[in-house]
Structure 1
């Protein structure tokens, strides 16, 4: 398995403060999606910047194509709430390992 990171960025600066009910629902689906990746032992870590600038998801996948599918299936991405970008990644240091 290879490691990847995808970044998600809100499509507007004040997203945290101005999130609509529908966007909040999509972000809940996003969180559940990531919990599913964690349960499948694909997710290494995920979380947002507290200023709302972006979020990251570091995960394992079989290939670039599979990693793109993981990113594109994230409800925040597939519903157009967040823009995304994918990168190959390597966890070099991690606490507890």
Structure 2
């Protein structure tokens, strides 16, 4: 298994809280639940986001996958990406340091 990272960005419409719909919120819930399940299984190493909701904000998911094609597929199946409320780009990744604390 290799490590990958995908970087997520909210679409511009969602930079303002007043523009969020119930559907958007549901998709983010689905996104979180999926990542939590894969984290519990050991596939997702870490996931999180900055506290910015503007065009400079972003989220990351570091995960394990067999190859580039499967990593791309894993990213595209993220509900937030699949339903177009977040854009994403995947890269191969190599953790250089990891705290054991």
TM-score normalized with structure 1 length = 0.92
Partner of residue 22, structure 1: 23
For the residue of structure 1 that corresponds to 2:84, the secondary structure is coil
Unaligned runs of 5+ in 1: none
Q: Does residue 9 of structure 1 match 2:13? A: no
| Counterparts in 2 of 1:14 and 1:76: CA distance versus 1, 3 Å | closer
Partner of residue 50, structure 2: 49
TM-score normalized with structure 2 length = 0.89
| 73-82 or 17-26, which deviates more | 17-26
Number of residues paired by the alignment?
97
**Whole-angstrom distance in 1 between the partners of 2:61 and 2:85:** 16
Partner of residue 66, structure 2: 62
| Counterparts in 2 of 1:93 and 1:13: CA distance versus 1, 3 Å | farther
**Whole-angstrom distance in 1 between the partners of 2:14 and 2:68:** 32
| Counterparts in 2 of 1:20 and 1:50: CA distance versus 1, 3 Å | same
Unaligned runs of 5+ in 2: none
Coordinate RMSD, CA, aligned: 1.4
